[in-house]
Structure 1
């Protein structure tokens, strides 16, 4: 009789790159496979893809993950698959359950005219929106994308459904149509007081109240992988929606306690904070006014507040401009910048360009690559410190901080972050998003007798090094 090794697969469908991680039942990470997320970008800033393209991407990643596991372990059987990813992007389904519109990127600018129109018609709507949903009234939330689709020829009538990208993938792989709370809280259609649909928001946007499916928490079984979609070694695997990529990454990095802060240091420098229980309308409005958002965490009975700066993007551009984007050049610059004390007069690095994406460097006579890099790391850290100072006036200080992500491999970045974030430690997990998803795949197969946070703490005690396969 053939002996199989049991494995669990976590997917993280991201903005730039999508990944899948394979983990064994005894918590060994076998490998990560990754591929570019296939967005189509237009010259005017529009960015979109299709539901079918994303489904094919997910299936390919699962198949490649199984092959990676078989290369290392021999015959395998996938017991659980969890899908995390971007939140505001979603798939509009018609009454027959078929994709009926393009998938707009979460950062796509479409919807701003609809936002402006509703604001003009009801000047108090923006404040009410922040109080009820915990989000700023802008074109990022799914509600604005849905309003744009409706205004531009896509019918959203009775029987239509809106699934976030991870929810859609799980459904098409064989799961039920479900609404995972951390993803749904980014739509702008959920009343955070009740976790149910916000009827006034549906009415104001002209959307049917049954647009979102029933709720199912992250890490709970949403169904099983369809036999006709399953690559060898994955038939009948338990499926679960892992949730929004940021709280899933916090889970993977080990930030699972109350009042804990997770800093994901990738292309975006994202700060995610757990708050026990629910905020009230006044607190949510204050959170949004402080430059943050508030929604559901993947941890039970926990609020997630979220903010970010374009720290990683700025650091990458500065690194490239200094000619230090090779491993050797990066290491040399990292060492040299640690010796920098005071910055030379006149030197300033910021991200305050006219587009919001630009990097501005002002130089004096004494500037060197090391001082320029030190200025860049200190600027991004100061931006986070400002965010924290603003939010602490609303919800108080955090108890513990954890940072992870590619930029934290540099000592200079770690030093800058430690100066800005109190009680900070650094996670050895290099890919927290897929790590958190894999943990939720394992939890979905467990008997549920252990609380999710305790399950993660136990599982994260020992993690093997990971090989990345491009």
Structure 2
């Protein structure tokens, strides 16, 4: 049964104390131990299981392994992760099904038939109806698996469910609750009318607490980790990484890179709903609950490079012909392929493998390449794909800063692609402001740990992860001005007659990758 948390007490971390961070992503789970300033002491990376018990086992084993490597356990544990993926739990806290994933298309028809005015819905929730939203999954369960919905005592997003399994206490964070499509971002509570569409009420969802309020003490047995250490639900992965990178107030901007890419722009106020819908951006609660963060996503950023690597250097497995498209490949060949590629490449790539979300929603948009000549090789194509993602993100950044009326002084960049030198060189060259790179092994994982270190205290006291300024290259910056203009001309041109009628961002329901 779900227990109530005890009295809130500020965690005091020893000078040499360690903090644990957990980042549950779509593809991988990252677990690490960090010092009080975010320095990584031990880290483990595993594939993300599809079932909750397996996920709990993976995280528990990883925490134990990190503690063994470090020679001691953490003084607090912070959990972040993908938001929309979740699981129905019965009255004893047992999962009633495998986890229902954000990219599962079930619920698309239900979302389309929601029957709510798009502008009013955005004003209430900060987003549009799509299959990603848990509300759409609940509606699907009501129609196709009513026995599961009837038996569901609680719905828990993945970070919430993991924290529950570790502590026996179920709580969530506003940045996770906001992704349900049943949360009023203006009042900071669940919306009973939206929940009623699925036959639910607010008491079947986790109570909402702040990012530094401990969910409870560790109750699960994990070798090397002391019972009772506080466990914190830090929040949505992009929000946690951005906060740790120091992006906390209007004028700050973050670029979170991964399979998908998200531009995070804190705003002084929520956008006009019509503007938010037209741009295809969500208006999320800030991590500390004091403001709004506009989030614009590129669904296929790292995925674009994966796809090209699949085409240019197919895997050599037992049956490569039946490998799944988009599956991450070995990157050992990438440095050699990119070495010596002249920049700019002269190739313009529109990086839309599965449609475009922000800043001009178009679910029918697809990859387009222009400017390829006989003198170009595999490395040029890969570099051009990198250029295309960077140019698109520049476009998003320009649009989001314009609508928020902010003038950022720098762009904080974090995520897997910071390890690719050419990517960061292009990113710095096309950015309208100086780029600072967070070199942490995993900014989200480290951020979750640092937030846990302030359990019972204040988010304002969370240390900022070190950022490394990218060197300025005025000649390369000037060289990318014409390619950016060519990119904008092509990206803003109508792709097909059908695409021109599909500008409602709600139509991106099954195309938008996790943000």
TM range (shorter): 0.7 to 0.9
CA distance, structure 2, for counterparts of residue 461 and residue 366 of structure 1: 41
Task: Give 2:288's aligned residue.
Answer: 299
CA distance, structure 1, for counterparts of residue 198 and residue 431 of structure 2: 39
Task: Give 1:418's aligned residue.
Answer: 428
CA contact (8 A) 1:334 1:411 kept: no
Task: Give 2:343's aligned residue.
Answer: 340
1:330 and 2:318 correspond? no
CA distance, structure 1, for counterparts of residue 16 and residue 427 of structure 2: 40
Candidates 166, 169, 176, aligned match of 2:159: 166
CA contact (8 A) 1:223 1:240 kept: yes
CA contact (8 A) 1:158 1:210 kept: no
Structure in which a larger fraction of residues adopt strand: 1
CA distance, structure 2, for counterparts of residue 4 and residue 405 of structure 1: 28
Gaps of 5+ in 2: 1-13, 315-328, 356-363, 469-515
CA contact (8 A) 2:235 2:287 kept: yes
CA contact (8 A) 2:38 2:446 kept: no
- The Cα offsets for residues 378-403 of structure 1, whole Å up to 9 and x where unpaired, read as 21112212222333342123523111
| Residue-pair matches, total | 428
SS at structure 2 position matched to 1:219: coil
CA distance, structure 2, for counterparts of residue 351 and residue 288 of structure 1: 21
SS at structure 2 position matched to 1:273: strand
Gaps of 5+ in 1: 39-48, 71-75, 464-470
Once the 2 structures are TM-superposed, how far is the Cα of residue 214 of structure 1 from its aligned partner?
A: 1.8
Task: Give 1:220's aligned residue.
Answer: 213
Structure 1 length-normalised TM: 0.83
SS at structure 2 position matched to 1:315: helix
Task: Give 1:90's aligned residue.
Answer: 86
CA contact (8 A) 1:284 1:294 kept: no
SS at structure 2 position matched to 1:289: helix
SS at structure 2 position matched to 1:434: helix
In terms of mean alpha carbon deviation, does 178-187 or 202-211 score higher? 202-211
CA distance, structure 2, for counterparts of residue 68 and residue 148 of structure 1: 44
Task: Give 2:272's aligned residue.
Answer: 283
CA distance, structure 1, for counterparts of residue 257 and residue 37 of structure 2: 28
CA distance, structure 2, for counterparts of residue 169 and residue 219 of structure 1: 17
Task: Give 1:110's aligned residue.
Answer: 106
- The Cα offsets for residues 403-455 of structure 1, whole Å up to 9 and x where unpaired, read as 122222333212322244332222222311111111112111xx62xx42343
Once the 2 structures are TM-superposed, how far is the Cα of residue 35 of structure 1 from its aligned partner?
A: 0.7
CA distance, structure 2, for counterparts of residue 308 and residue 27 of structure 1: 26
CA contact (8 A) 1:351 1:357 kept: no
CA contact (8 A) 2:24 2:159 kept: yes
Task: Give 2:200's aligned residue.
Answer: 207
CA contact (8 A) 1:287 1:391 kept: no
CA contact (8 A) 1:157 1:208 kept: no
Candidates 386, 389, 400, aligned match of 1:377: 386
Once the 2 structures are TM-superposed, how far is the Cα of residue 353 of structure 1 from its aligned partner?
A: 5.0
CA contact (8 A) 1:21 1:29 kept: yes
Task: Give 1:152's aligned residue.
Answer: 144
1:186 and 2:193 correspond? no
Q: CA RMSD in A?
A: 2.9
SS at structure 2 position matched to 1:177: coil
CA contact (8 A) 1:274 1:302 kept: yes
In terms of mean alpha carbon deviation, does 318-327 or 124-133 score higher? 318-327
CA contact (8 A) 1:291 1:387 kept: no
SS at structure 2 position matched to 1:382: helix
Candidates 120, 123, 137, aligned match of 2:129: 137
Task: Give 2:351's aligned residue.
Answer: 351
CA contact (8 A) 2:88 2:154 kept: yes
Once the 2 structures are TM-superposed, how far is the Cα of residue 158 of structure 1 from its aligned partner?
A: 9.1
Once the 2 structures are TM-superposed, how far is the Cα of residue 151 of structure 1 from its aligned partner?
A: 1.5
Q: 1:103 to 1:294 in 2, by over 3 A?
A: same
SS at structure 2 position matched to 1:366: coil
Once the 2 structures are TM-superposed, how far is the Cα of residue 197 of structure 1 from its aligned partner?
A: 0.9
CA distance, structure 1, for counterparts of residue 29 and residue 178 of structure 2: 22
1:405 and 2:415 correspond? yes
CA distance, structure 2, for counterparts of residue 213 and residue 170 of structure 1: 11
SS at structure 2 position matched to 1:6: coil
Report matched runs for 1:9-88 at 5 Å: 9-25=20-36, 28-38=39-49, 49-70=50-71, 76-88=72-84
CA distance, structure 1, for counterparts of residue 196 and residue 225 of structure 2: 46
CA distance, structure 2, for counterparts of residue 357 and residue 235 of structure 1: 51
